[in-house]
Structure formats: C-alpha cells, structure tokens
Amino acid sequence: MQRPWHSVSIDDCGESLRPLRSFVTCMEPHPYVALGAPYGNGADPFCLRQGVRSRLLAAQVHLNSLTTLDGREPLRLGIFDAWRPLSVQAFMVNYAIEQECARQGVNPNDSDEMDRLQNVRAQVSRFWAPPSPALSTPPPHSTGAAVDLTLIDAMGSSLDMGGEIDAIGPESLPLHHVEAAKENPDGQSALFHSRRCLLHRVMQQAGFVRHPNEWWHFSFGDQLWAWTVQANQAMYGRDQSLFSLEL
C-alpha cells in the first residue's frame, strides 16, 4: 500500500544507530521481542539515528520542565519501540492480521471469508506499514528515524492514553477523544486528550511529526517527516550498510 509520503526522495545523511537505554526509559521486556519477533544477531530494537536520539532527549527535558514547573509529579517518556528491521516488520504485520482475524471471528483459511480477510488486511494496513524491501519506500521504523512512545509516571507506570499502542481501531487516531472532551471537559476523554496533546507538544517542540493515524508514533527526518513539513527530501532511509549495530 503506497503512502502519500512515498513520493518523497531520500538522501541518507549516513548517521549511525545509537542506543537509547542509558538515556531514556525503555519499556521492558520489549513487546515484539517477547512475541518472538526475529531481530537476530542480538540486534537492539531500542536504538535510533544519532540526530533523532538527540531530539528525543530534548523532548524528555522539555517534558520534565513542563510537569515540574507547576508542581506536578514529573512525567517521563516511555519508549515502546524504535528501530525495526524488515524481518520484524513482516512478522508484526502478520501477527496483527492474525490477532484482528481472531478478534473479528474471521477464519483466514476459509475461502468463503476472503472478503472479510481483505477487510481485516485493509484495517491493519492503516496502522502497519508494509514491509517493503524497496529502498525508495522503507517502513518508517526501518530507517531508525521513528519511535513509538507514551507517557509514564515517576514509578515507571504507563499513563492511560485512551487507547493501547498498536490498537487497530479509531481509538488510535490522535484526535479520537477531542469531541467527547469538548462535551465534558471534566470527563475521562478530556484527560486522555490532554495527555495526547502533552505528548504531541513535547515531541513537536523537539522537531518530530506525529503519524496521522497513531497517537504514539513520531518521527524526524524520514519520508513521513519530510512530507509533513514539506521538506525537499528525507535525510534517513533504510541504508543497510549503516546498520551494523556496533553500539
């Protein structure tokens, strides 16, 4: 499935992947590793390009300042996922389809349910990029320029954001709770919306853009970023020669 941003050209700047664990809070165990996703060779999913990592640290500092100036308990960024090789992207797309089929009661092996299966695949494709091997259309996470994250409290517990990361459904849309929040400013939807806005604010301040369908997905320097900010080209692609993971 082509994305609007796939028309953006890529001129990779050559930055290496750098680890995140000693700089920000990474949510362990890593969710996809726990599922058996094939990272291989001890590859670390908690890493990003150097420039992206620096901006993530700036976002963390900004978040800390915003939540301590008014006397509130300081919040932190909780990293759910970062760099993702194509093998893992393919594994997780298939996993998401299987899970959604099970949730909707679709038998993927029943020829009479092919239309329903195609509908499930279409729903999944709104949130999961295809594992394209073409260097001109890399999945965002395969570039080392995209990160999935949420807000966590001082104890390391994730805040309720009104929808789980990777959920296949309207609750994943960034503005899903906005109308309910307007109708009831003191309700739970208003709390969820304010938390999503806070996350967006600190990430945007650091230069990131948010995925149009996912409240948790942010990137800098990839095709989605370039398309959103109307840059001439992306600075991060899927350059295999850079991803030796010599961290």
The pLDDT score that the predictor gives to residue 2 is: 78
Average pLDDT over residues 15-27: 93
Which residues are bridge partners to 9 per DSSP?
233
Lowest mean pLDDT of 103-117, 128-142, 161-175, name the range: 103-117
Q: How far is CA 21 from CA 27, 48, 82, 184, 221, in A?
A: 9, 11, 11, 39, 21
The pLDDT score that the predictor gives to residue 70 is: 62
For the purposes of burial, counting CB atoms within 10 Å of the CB of 109, is it exposed (0-12), middle (13-18) or buried (19 or more)?
exposed
214 is catalytic: yes
The model's confidence at residue 71, banded by pLDDT at 50, 70 and 90, is: low
pLDDT digits (tens, 9 = 90+) for 208-235: 999 999 999 999 999 999 999 999 999 9
The pLDDT score that the predictor gives to residue 232 is: 96
The model's confidence at residue 247, banded by pLDDT at 50, 70 and 90, is: very low
Average pLDDT over residues 24-53: 92
The pLDDT score that the predictor gives to residue 117 is: 92
Average pLDDT, the chain: 92
The pLDDT score that the predictor gives to residue 246 is: 36
For the purposes of burial, counting CB atoms within 10 Å of the CB of 230, is it exposed (0-12), middle (13-18) or buried (19 or more)?
exposed
All domains in the chain, ordered by first residue: 4-84+140-242 (3.30.1380.10)
How large a percentage of the chain has pLDDT more than 90?
A: 83
The model's confidence at residue 76, banded by pLDDT at 50, 70 and 90, is: very high
Which residue's entry shows tokens 């999503």?
Answer: 196
Residue type for 240, please? Q
- Of 171, 179, 214, 246, the active-site residue reads 214
pLDDT digits (tens, 9 = 90+) for 141-173: 999 999 999 999 988 899 999 999 999 999 999
